């Protein structure tokens, strides 16, 4: 989705001769609307993609970016309620943000941005580091810089004590869904909108038919075989929806001993109690079984497949962002 491709868009604009600048939130205080690492790409014609404040200060940032593209100098901008310019465009409630504007090809070398874009395309984790004052910039792969490694693990951008701003660029989060049932249809759509790369597994041809899931990756292998091939990692969420132990259980057993950060299973409390008995009989420890979110999803009174999908995605998000 375009709003997740900000570095790519800036590079394309620059290479097309349209000029480009990247504006990045590097620090926030109070009720700032966007978190550090949020980006806005600006072209030489004033076209924008992305956001650094949800619309509050974009106009002022675009003006500064156009000036930065003209003189080739970065700018470190601060907006808050004490700043009359920021207040006039709507940043209130005690929020303050600091935004770094980097013109591509001048302050931000094209080759460095191209390396970042290439790493993202190859799904290789990489951290971009910049010192806003000195202008020193670097890309770090895992193992090359301690602070960058911590940022990659936490998936959280921010300022370091040495004055650098470090932004992690991790591969997309993944959602693996077992069971091409009605709930899976809105769930895949919502997951994709949240930045996940979804994969659906169902060996039943009728359920996993392409016309039911247009444009989605659907695997017809047996669930445990498909999961093993997909190799779930710490950026993977897994949801089982079939209600059929013959399909769900093999996937659950593999998922429980994978690094996946989330495992949710559809079914009532009674259904889950029977599932727990089967897992205990298969030798799984209490702590392993406790990783399962069941019944799957937050209790929001969901009724329809779409509402249940919302509850599942909300629980996945809570687990990822808060560990809850």
Model confidence at 313, pLDDT cuts 50, 70, 90, reads very high
- How much of the chain exceeds pLDDT 70, in percent? 94
Average pLDDT estimate for 20-43: 90
- 103 and 109 Cβ atoms separated by less than 8 Å: no
Q: Give me the pLDDT at residue 210, please.
A: 87
> CA 262 → CA 84, 226, 283, 314, distances in Å?
45, 17, 21, 12
Model confidence at 98, pLDDT cuts 50, 70, 90, reads very high
Overall pTM surpassing 0.75 (yes/no): no
State the Cα–Cα distance between residues 68 and 61, nearest whole angstrom: 10
Structural domains in the chain, sorted by start: 2-169 (no CATH), 173-322 (3.40.50.720)
Residue 86 has pLDDT above 50, yes or no: no
Residue 213 has pLDDT above 60, yes or no: yes
- 232 and 174 Cβ atoms separated by less than 8 Å: yes
pLDDT tens per residue, range 35-56: 899 999 999 999 999 999 877 7
Strand, helix or coil at 279?
helix
Model confidence at 303, pLDDT cuts 50, 70, 90, reads very high
Average pLDDT estimate for 156-175: 95
Residue 159 has pLDDT above 90, yes or no: yes
Query: Is 59 buried (19+), middle (13-18) or exposed (0-12) by CB count in 10 A?
Result: middle
Q: What is the mean pLDDT of the chain?
A: 92
Residue 200 has pLDDT above 80, yes or no: yes
pLDDT tens per residue, range 215-250: 999 999 999 999 999 999 889 999 999 989 999 999
State the Cα–Cα distance between residues 166 and 152, nearest whole angstrom: 9
């Amino acid at each position: 989705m375009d709003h997740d491709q900000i570095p790519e868009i800036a590079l394309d604009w620059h290479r097309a001769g349209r000029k480009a600048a990247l504006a990045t939130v590097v620090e926030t205080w109070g009720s700032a609307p966007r978190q550090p690492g949020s980006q806005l790409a600006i072209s030489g014609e004033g076209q924008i993609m992305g956001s650094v404040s949800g619309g509050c200060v974009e106009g002022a940032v675009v003006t500064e970016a156009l000036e930065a593209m003209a003189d080739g100098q970065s700018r470190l901008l601060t907006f808050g309620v004490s700043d009359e310019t920021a207040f006039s465009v709507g940043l209130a409630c005690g929020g303050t943000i600091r935004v770094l504007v980097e013109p591509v090809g001048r302050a931000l070398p094209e080759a460095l941005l191209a390396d970042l874009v290439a790493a993202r395309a190859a799904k290789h984790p990489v951290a971009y580091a910049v010192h806003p004052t000195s202008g020193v910039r670097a890309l770090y792969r895992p193992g090359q810089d301690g602070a960058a490694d911590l940022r990659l693990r936490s998936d959280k951008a921010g300022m370091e004590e040495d004055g650098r701003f470090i932004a992690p660029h991790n591969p997309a989060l993944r959602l693996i869904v077992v069971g091409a049932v009605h709930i899976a249809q809105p769930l895949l759509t919502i997951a994709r909108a949240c930045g996940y790369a979804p994969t659906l597994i169902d060996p039943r041809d009728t359920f996993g038919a392409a016309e039911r899931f247009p444009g989605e990756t659907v695997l017809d292998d047996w669930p445990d075989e498909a999961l093993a091939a997909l190799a779930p990692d710490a950026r993977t969420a897994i949801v089982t929806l079939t209600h059929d132990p013959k399909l769900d259980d093999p996937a659950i057993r593999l998922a429980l001993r994978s690094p996946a950060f989330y495992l949710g299973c559809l079914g009532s409390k009674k259904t889950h109690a029977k599932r727990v008995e089967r897992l205990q009989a298969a030798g799984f420890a209490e702590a392993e079984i406790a990783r399962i979110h069941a019944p799957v999803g937050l209790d929001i009174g969901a009724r329809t497949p779409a509402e249940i999908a919302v509850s599942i995605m909300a629980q996945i998000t809570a687990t990822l962002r808060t560990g809850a």
